[in-house]
Amino acid sequence: MPFRLSGPVARVVLAGLWWLLSPCAALSAGDTLRVLAWPGYADADLVAAFEQRSGVRVEVTLVDSDEALWQKVSDHDAADFDVFAVNTAELRRYIRSGWVVPIDTRAIPNLSRQMPRFRALDQIPGIVHAGRPYAIPYTYAEMGLIYDRSQFSTPPDSIEALWEPGLRRRVLAYNGGVHSFSLAALALGSDHPFDVRDDDWTQLAQKLIDLRRNVLTFYTLPDESVQLFREKRVALLFANYGSQQVQLLKRAGVDVGYAIPREGALAWLDCWAITRGARDVPLAHAWIDYFLEEGPSAALTTRQGLANTTATPSGSESQRLIWLEPVEDAERRNRLWARILSGDNLKRVMQP
């Protein structure tokens, strides 16, 4: 009979020993920080370092779309998560719905490491409400166009390239309702891509149906886009994740170029925000502060190709970046987008 150290007594003893030896025994070891983040934002080693420092367990949940993020945060009155990464455009509706609480900037000493444009929180649309900041910028990226150098003699200079019939079924676009409508608006020459007027919906929907007919498919995650790009000889990619995807593709050995179209590139700024249901608000602040340190900030850039808020990137000052803003009706955009994605025709898409 093989004898194992498995009795309940042994387990209790081991648990006791573990508790005594654990460096965080003094801290509330039972706590868990529940983080909702995007891929690449909270790598396991960074999380582990934070866990070791704070003595709490961190549970990271990944999201791949704004809709999924909204769904998860708003579920159960924002009680499922403590801290989450959200872009400035999305943040407003979270503030409006009361899912987030103001940030105590004094509890985040590393704010002083940030570049001036990110320190001036009131200059960034959507962060400050009633004089109080609700998020801390963490990373940002512009949504340029990635192209296969072997299939382009000159870099694409317009968003319209995505609709180019010559590239039919060699284009990859992002599966997201809010951005897609902004993208379509930019393509149609609109100067208010985040504020679609009633008259414009049909035109935009048709533009997106046209896009659907020109793309190979819509991706959601960076890795997925890289795999499709490589395997399906894709020529052009709308880079929702920006330089992150460029870096992934280059690492995968694809000869790609990155272009900011003349219409300008949508750019998102992701911030950390704290939910109303956060169990341990100081801990959530500590999490935010930690990710503004040099290590995690540098990791963001070197590993993910994402710009961090503590260092100035090279070049790209002259390029036109259109910071994402809250859209007029995200729900409507998503509802219409789901129909477009499912393959409905214009009539069915525009049904009430």
CB 337 within 8 Å of CB 208: yes
Single out the segment in contact with other proteins by CB under 8 A; choices: 59-67, 279-287, 304-312, 315-323: 59-67
Q: Are 61 and 261 in contact (CB under 8 A)?
A: no
Tell me whether residue 254 or residue 341 sits nearer to other proteins (CB atom). Answer: 341
Binding segment for other proteins among 82-90, 121-129, 295-303, 338-346 (CB under 8 A)? 338-346
> What gap in Å lies between CA 55 and CA 53, rounded to an integer?
6
9 binds other proteins (CB under 8 A): no
In whole angstroms, the minimum distance from the beta carbon of 72 to other proteins comes to 7
Question: Could you give the C-alpha distances from 70 to 35, 77, 92, in angstroms and in order?
Answer: 14, 11, 12
Q: Which of 5, 23, 26, 347 binds other proteins (CB under 8 A)?
A: 347
Q: Residue 329 interacts with other proteins (CB under 8 A)? A: no
Beta-bridge partners for 275:
100
Task: Give the contact letters, 131-170, x = binds to other proteins (CB under 8 A), - = no.
Answer: --------------------------------------x-
Q: Which is nearer to other proteins, 150 or 345 (CB)?
A: 345
In DSSP terms, which residues pair with 347 in a beta bridge? none
CA distance 140 to 34: 22
Smallest distance from other proteins to CB 262, Å = 27
Residue 330 CB, shortest distance to other proteins, in Å, is: 17
Binding residues among 198-217 for other proteins as defined by CB under 8 A = 212-213, 215-217
For the CB of residue 242, give the shortest distance to other proteins in the complex, in Å.
21
Q: How far is the CB of 241 from other proteins (least distance, A)?
A: 16
Q: What is the DSSP letter of 291?
A: T
DSSP string, 135-181: -EEEEEEE--EEEEGGG-SS---SGGGGG-GGGTT-EEEE--HHHHH
Q: Which is nearer to other proteins, 120 or 252 (CB)?
A: 252
Nearer to other proteins, 117 or 348 (CB): 348
H helix runs in the chain, sequence order: 8-21, 44-54, 66-74, 88-97, 116-119, 177-187, 201-214, 222-231, 243-251, 281-290, 294-304, 330-342, 346-349
Alpha carbons 289 and 103: distance in angstroms, whole number: 11
Applying CB under 8 A, the span of 105-113, 179-187, 319-327, 344-352 interacting with other proteins comes to 344-352
Q: Does 61 bind other proteins (CB under 8 A)?
A: yes
Closest C-alpha to 306, from 224, 239, 241, 218: 241
CA distance 81 to 122: 26
In the bound state with other proteins, the residue whose beta carbon lies nearer, of 66 and 142, is 66
| C-alpha closest to that of 110 among 310, 340, 325, 308 | 310
Q: Cβ of residue 197: shortest distance to other proteins, in angstroms?
A: 25
Shortest CB 102 distance to other proteins, Å: 26
Interface pick for other proteins out of 281, 338, 346, 350 (rule CB under 8 A) = 338
Instruction: Give yes or no for residue 279 binding other proteins (CB under 8 A).
Output: no
Amino acid at residue number 325: E
Question: Residues 148, 157: contact at Cβ < 8 Å?
Answer: no
Q: Are 204 and 130 in contact (CB under 8 A)?
A: no
> Residue 345, interface with other proteins (CB under 8 A)?
yes
By the rule CB under 8 A, 343 interacts with other proteins: yes
22 close to 29: Cβ distance less than 8 angstroms:
yes
Enumerate residues 63-82 that contact other proteins by CB under 8 A.
Answer: 63-64, 68, 72
User: Contacts with other proteins in 30-49 (CB under 8 A)?
Assistant: 36
Angle formed by the axes of helices 222-231 and 243-251, to 10°?
A: 50
Site stretch for other proteins (CB under 8 A), options 55-63, 111-119, 123-131, 154-162: 55-63
Q: Which residues bind other proteins (CB under 8 A)?
A: 1-2, 6, 36, 61-64, 68, 72, 169, 212-213, 215-218, 338-339, 341-345, 347-348
